[in-house]
Structure 1
Amino acid sequence: MKQLLMLLAALLAGCASYTPKPLDPAVQGSAFGARSLDAPELKQFVERSYGHELSSWPPKAWDRSMLTLAALHFHPDLDTARARSQLAQAGVVTAGARPNPTLGVSLQHNADASVDQSPWTYGLGIDLPIETAGKRTYRSERARHLALAARFRENEALWQVISGVRTSLLAAYPTDVLIRRQHGLQAEITHLLERRFAAGYLSQPELTQARITLNQITLTLAANQKQRAENMARLAAAVGVPVKALETAAISFESFEQVVPVSALPSDAMQREAMRSRPDILASLAEYEASQSALQLEVAKQYPDISIGPGYSWDAGAVKWSLGLSLTLPLLNRNEGPIAEAEAHRKEAAGVFLATQTKAIAEVELALAGYGHAVRLFHIADALLRDQNKAERAAAASFKAGESDRLAWLSSRYETVTAELARLSALSQVQLTLGQLEDALRRPLGGNVLPAAVEQAVTPKPFNNREQP
């Protein structure tokens, strides 16, 4: 008995212990409010991402690349995705664990024992469960596929953060400078027209139209300022920092100034390769394989497990050995219900995979078709702006030569600003469609946006059914 107690104490000593980690909303909120883009830990993360030390910190301008790295450091969705991946990895360990044997000790006292016999009977029994029909293998395979799916979902969460920064940064592109110029020119034009109306050289409807235009631009400017503030708040949320962290940062929009030629877009072969490496497609495929393993497990459960129970007893001075064998008899059911459920889950997983793949193909085709038209519209708007610049220079020369009045020159300048806004709107559509194509392919286009290590993490290798998580 003493040896048995020592064995139990040794086994309990190897058990894991629980350490509480309470969350304090006030502390978490204060920590979020204290986040800043010049944090030393962010600098260390950026240096690890690029693989070298930075010569200066913080950077002079926060462009798309640097803001994306900041989001990869701060954004809470990535912590959630990593935790889910770790949970699935732990599930692999759980699924592969073998059932522990059961130890039983018995003690009996015989009140009618004779004087020459011991009234005590001591018994010791061990129950050894044995899984049959490969249940542990199927269970482990299912857990392994779910761990792969969780890892691919982590890659997907990584891309969603990258995409969120791009979308929010593009939405925050400043247009207020052009609108202010337009407002100032329209105010001058309206003032000149008021003077002409007062002198009797202009009709009331013409002056009214000018005032309506001025009022519309005033409202547009106010709405633009509101939208700008909201977009900066969305950008801060996409990065994972409070709005005040961006107030003193110099945001660069240079990455949106260049238009990627249609000829530079991925070829059909590259598109097919991207479709094979999209993390959401790979996750759906891994989840389908997990459903197959789950069905195999339920089929295997038709065959009962075996339990072997060797025992030892000391009965009134006599030593006795015993050997027991037990199993569940499949008489009332043969696991038909769980098998049917597993088959339905497999059909559902197959449908999810097909829907995900079809959606991805449609996203690529839609973005490619839209990008070509958006680029053509941008080139038209760019050509119109060049023509208007020439017309403005001619109007300025004519005004200086005394061949035209100030109103004609102001009107030409106003048309130039309008053409610049039209070009900017066309450029925004180009970048918006390019972002949709990036989302469809799950990879940046048009230059090195991220360090190579980060791009490799975003784009996982194609699914391998024998891959270990």
Structure 2
Amino acid sequence: MRKATLIAFAWLAGCATYHAQPIAPIELARQFEHRSLTSEGLHVYIARELGHDIAPWPPTRWNSETLSMAAWYYSPTLDIARAQWGTANAGIDVANAIPNPVLTLPFQYATPNPGPGAPYTTGPALDIPIETAHKRGYRVDQASHLSEAARLTIASEAWKVRSQVRVALLALYAARERIAILSRKAEAERRIAEMSRKRLELGQFSRPDVDAAVLADTQAQSDLAAARSVEENARAQLAVAIGLPVAALDGVQYDLDEFRAAPPAPPAADAQREAIFHRADLLASLADYAAAESALQLEVAKQYPDIHLGPGYSYDTGINRIAFGLAGITLPIFDRNEGGIREAEAKRKEAATRTAALQDAILGDLDHALAHYRSSLEALRLSDAHLADARKQVNSEASAFAAGNIDRLTYTQAVADYQTSEIARLDAEVAVQQAAGAIEDAMQQPFGHGAVRHTMSEAQAR
């Protein structure tokens, strides 16, 4: 009896226990407000991802790569994807579990007593289930494929986060460049309005000419204020993409030089290869299809009944009985799991159709993005040519003004017109970068940056 008690206590000691983990919204809000780009935890994470330390910390200028890593560290979307992967991994352990035997302790009291011994029947018996037809293996395969799909979903979500960071940085770059241009244009329009008023006083200008100059000045000031508002919105957008409070970006310096380059479009065949073989969401869809295959194999295997061994001992009113038979076996007479097999086949077909549709959509988006990028590059080329002509024109006006051939008002108007050409060129440059981002999103791979794929694959670990 003492030995049985020790065994029972040892068994209970091996059981998992429940630990409450309540969520306090106030504490979550406090944690969010304390997030920053100077965190030592973020420092360790980025150093591990880059494979080398960053000195000094924090860096003096943040680029899209380091800010993307900060977003991977803080992003709640990635935290959800990581948690889902943990759930899927736990599903492998569940699928791999061996069914436990069932212990039965029947007891019957006989009256009158038919035997020579005590008037009762009792004794332990076991029901030991044995799965057949490799059912457990198919369950493990299915759970493993679902786990792989969940892992790849992390990479897919990581790319989306990176894309959001890039979009926000591009908006910030465009806003700052526009502010610089509009500041010069607003200054020129202000001087034009002042000179127009003075000429009106001297009788050299008519009222409509002055009104037009004042209207242009007012519009330039309004455009400048709108550009500054866009800059603030871009900072807020970047903070959301990273998972930081906006105040955490105060004083941060950015390296936005990457948006000044316009690399040639990648060959269509190479881009398609990148998209087909490396897009995480497509690979995850293939893993889902493999899980559907394993599920179908499991349903087919369920046609074959499991075996239940039933060894046991019983004391039957004075007679000792030892059993070695089968506790039970399901006879596939009325149902051979036809319904389960048909459902699994339909789900496999659905998974195959979903994968094919996703690939078609990816290739269609890629073709459109490549065509749009090429046309944007051509538009940028034409805008560069137009800006060069405008530059020659304003230089000519500057020479004429220096020689006294034109007055200051005419020269200042030429300068303001040149700023308009600069804005048009900036719009073309931003359009090229937006088209480049669409290509990268279609491939889930920045062209010209081979090291990024490794970083993307490591975004699953925090």
Same fold (TM over 0.5): yes
Residue by residue over 1:93-112, the C-alpha shift from the partner in whole angstroms, topping out at 9 and shown as x without a partner, is 11121211101123344454
Return the offset for 1:208: 3.4
More displaced stretch, 3-12 vs 427-436: 3-12
Partner of 2:415: 413
Residue 316 of structure 1 corresponds to 317
Match for residue 425 of structure 1?
427
Give yes or no for the alignment of 1:243 onto 2:250.
no
Aligned residue type for 1:8: A
CA contact (8 A) 2:143 2:291 kept: yes
Amino acid at match of 2:299: E
State the partner residue of 2:350: 348
- Tell me the equivalent position of 1:465: none
Number of matched residues?
A: 456
Measured in 2, the distance between the counterparts of 1:272 and 1:61 equals: 34
Q: Alignment partner for residue 253 of structure 1, among 251, 256, 270?
A: 256
1:107–1:100 Cα change, 3 Å: same
State the partner residue of 1:462: none
1:11 maps to: 11
CA contact (8 A) 1:168 1:234 kept: yes
Residue equivalent to 1:191: 194
- After superposing the two structures, state which structure 1 stretch, 147-156 or 45-54, moved more: 45-54
Flag the 1:12–1:458 CA change in 2: closer, same or farther, 3 A: closer
8 Å Cα contact 2:268/2:370 also seen in 1? no
Tell me the equivalent position of 1:218.
Answer: 221
Cα pair 2:310 2:326 within 8 Å, conserved: yes
- The residue matched to 1:172 in structure 2 has which SS? helix
In 2, the alpha carbon distance for the partners of 1:336 and 1:220 equals 69
Residues 382-421 of structure 1: matches in 2 within 5 Å?
382-421=384-423
Q: Note the residue ranges of structure 2 that are not aligned, 5 or more in a row.
A: none
Alpha-carbon deviation of 1:317? 3.5
Residues 143 and 125 of structure 1: CA distance in aligned 2, closer, same or farther (over 3 Å): same
Counterpart contact for 1:132–1:304, Cα < 8 Å = yes
* Residue equivalent to 1:463: none
Change (3 A) 1:283 1:365: same
| Residues 318-350 of structure 1: per-residue CA shift (max 9 Å, x gap) | 210122431233444333333332222222211
CA contact (8 A) 1:156 1:458 kept: no
Measured in 2, the distance between the counterparts of 1:408 and 1:115 equals: 127
Deviation at 1:229, TM superposition (A): 1.5
Contact 2:307 2:326 in 1 (8 A): no
- d(CA) in 1 for partners of 2:119, 2:259: 92
Match of 2:106 in 1: 106
Map 1:157-236 to 2 at 5 A: 157-173=157-173, 174=176, 175-236=178-239
Which amino acid in the other structure matches residue 231 of structure 2? R
Partners of 1:455 and 1:335 lie apart in 2 by 43
- Residue of structure 2 in register with 1:304 after alignment: 305
Partner of 2:85, secondary structure, is helix
> Partners in 1 of 2:144 and 2:9 — Cα distance?
34
Equivalence for 1:78:
78
CA contact (8 A) 1:50 1:451 kept: no
**What residue is the counterpart of 2:28 in the other structure?**
28
The separation in 2 between residues aligned to 1:134 and 1:370, in whole angstroms, is 52
SS in 1 for 2:18: coil
Post-superposition CA distance 1:11-69 (Å, at most 9, x none) = 22222222222111111111110111111111111211222222211111112122112
Matched-pair contact (CA < 8 Å) for 1:70–1:239: yes
Deviations along 1:227-261, one digit per CA (max 9) or x if unpaired, are 22121111001111110011111122111111112
Q: Mean alpha-carbon deviation: is it higher for 302-311 or for 180-189? A: 302-311
2:363 alignment partner in structure 1: 361
CA contact (8 A) 1:49 1:451 kept: no
Q: What is the CA–CA distance in structure 1 between the aligned matches of 2:385 and 2:339, rounded to whole Å?
A: 69
Q: Report what 2:129 is aligned to.
A: 129
Q: Which amino acid aligns with 1:315?
A: D
| Cα RMSD (Å) | 2.3
- 1:19 & 1:385 partners in 2: Cα distance? 67
Structure 1 residues 166 and 360: alpha-carbon distance in aligned structure 2, compared to 1, 3 A threshold: same
Deviation at 1:137, TM superposition (A): 2.1
**Cα distance between partner residues in 1 of 2:326 and 2:27:** 59
Go from structure 1 to structure 2 and tell me whether the alpha carbon gap of 1:337 and 1:451 turns closer, same or farther (over 3 Å shift).
Answer: closer
Counterparts of 1:384 and 1:376 in 2: how far apart (Å)?
A: 12
- Counterpart CA distance in 2 for 1:427 and 1:130 is 68
Match for 1:326 among 315, 325, 328?
328
The answer to whether the 8 A contact 2:168-2:238 is kept is: yes
- Structure 1 residue runs of 5 or longer lacking an equivalent are 460-469
- Counterpart amino acid of residue 309 in structure 1: G
Letter in 1 for 2:301: A
Alignment deviations for residues 173-202 of structure 1 (CA, whole Å, 9 cap, x no partner): 212121122122112212222333344433
Q: Which amino acid aligns with 2:261?
A: Q
Structure 2 letter corresponding to 1:255: E
Shift of 1:270: 5.4
User: Superposition pairs for residues 270-289 of structure 1, below 5 Å?
Assistant: 271-289=272-290
CA deviation string 1:74-100 (max 9, x = no partner): 112221111111111111111121211
